[in-house]
Structure 1
Amino acid sequence: MPRLTPLTPETAVGASRDLLADLVSRHGQIGGMVSTMAHSPAVLGGYLQLSRAMGRAKLDRRISERISVAVQAQQGCGLCLEAHIAAARALGVDEDEIERARAGTSADPAIAAIVALALQVHREPTSITDEQITALRAHGYSDRAIADVVGVVALNVLTGAFNLLAGLTPGGDAGA
């Protein structure tokens, strides 16, 4: 059961009301996570800005979704994990690779390396080495793509932690 009540443009106040009204006018509806984030205009605004910015990331979406699956498997947000698995499937990632992403790896050494980096960014960024970055470049990743990993991880930490705090779970009206 959700711990926080979703808001609407009618029940939200101030900046949150404006953000929700804008989202409803552009998209017709909003999901439970976004409407619940409206309790904090800072969190909602930050989420929307980071989400938009990461839409311009250099990483291939099939890779960023595997990173998201790996991070959410670690973080424990079932709602986010379910959403990212569905997105990975929609992008053509096969079931074996989805399971590998849940375990934090891939059959492709280049993808395994960038997923491993993402998990280190999530758990222990001080353990990242110069050799890892050199190896990622040898796999063909640009500095921009490597830097984008931090944004993908940050977005997943934000959404997953928020959903866990708010008590949003799969099966409810909690989609983004």
Structure 2
Amino acid sequence: MSRVALLTADSVDAPRAALLGEIQAGFGALPNMFRAVAHSESALRQMWSSFGALGQGRLDARLGEQIAVAIANRNGCGYCLAAHTALGRKAGASAADMRAAQTGDSEDARTAAALRFALAVVEKRGSVDDSEVEALRAAGFDDGELVEIVGHIALNLFTNYVNLVLDVPLDFPAVELRKAA
């Protein structure tokens, strides 16, 4: 059970109702995570605008969702794991792709490099080595894409923490957490 009430557009003021309406239109439903975050207009605006900004970035949606799944699995966030697995499938990833991403793996070398880097950033709290940045560049990522990966990491840490702290109930099909091999 959620540690906060799950709000709706009918239960909040006009600015938050408008944001919730945008979110519902974007997803075709109103995910519980946003309903929980709606207690704070600024946090809701931050979260939604971050999704929008990164969605217009140079990294494709599939890679963004694979990064999200790797971070969610690492942080034990079942909500984000479920949501981003479903979104990754919509973005063209196979079930096997999303399952592999949970532990930072991919058959595609470029994707694998991004996932390894993202997990290193999370594990090391940002204090990665020069060699880890160089490995990302060697896989074909430029400085702009490096910064976008960091943006995806930051957004996913935010959503993981929101869902874990607030104990947001799943409204996506559950996905089993995996341990790294």
TM-score of the superposed pair, with normalisation by structure 2: 0.82
Pair 1:99–1:4, CA change in 2 (3 A):
same
Q: Distance in 2 between matches of 1:77 and 1:161?
A: 8
Q: 2:30 aligned with 1:24, yes or no?
A: no
Aligned length: 169
Deviation at 1:51, TM superposition (A): 1.5
Partner of 2:65: 65
Q: Which of the pair has more CA radius of gyration?
A: 1
Runs of 5+ unmatched residues, structure 2 = 173-181
Partner of 2:179: none
Deviation at 1:124, TM superposition (A): 0.9
Q: Distance in 2 between matches of 1:34 and 1:131?
A: 37
Q: Aligned with 2:169: secondary structure?
A: coil
Matches within 5 A, 1:1-176: 1-13=1-13, 17-24=14-21, 27=25, 30-171=30-171
- Contact preservation (8 Å) 2:72, 2:80: yes
C-alpha RMSD of matched pairs (Å):
2.2
1:56-101 deviations in Å (ceiling 9; x for gaps): 2211222111111100001112121111111222222223322211
- Contact preservation (8 Å) 1:9, 1:18: no
1:23-54 deviations in Å (ceiling 9; x for gaps): 32782863322122121222112112211211
- Contact preservation (8 Å) 1:20, 1:35: no
Q: Distance in 1 between matches of 2:71 and 2:19?
A: 30
Q: Which runs of 4+ in 1 moved over 4 A?
A: none
| 2:75 alignment partner AA | Q
Q: Aligned with 1:3: secondary structure?
A: coil
Pair 1:171–1:34, CA change in 2 (3 A):
closer
Runs of 5+ unmatched residues, structure 1 = none
- With 62-71 and 86-95 compared, the bigger mean Cα shift is at 86-95
TM-score of the superposed pair, with normalisation by structure 1: 0.84
Quote the sequence identity (%).
33
Q: Distance in 2 between matches of 1:126 and 1:68?
A: 16
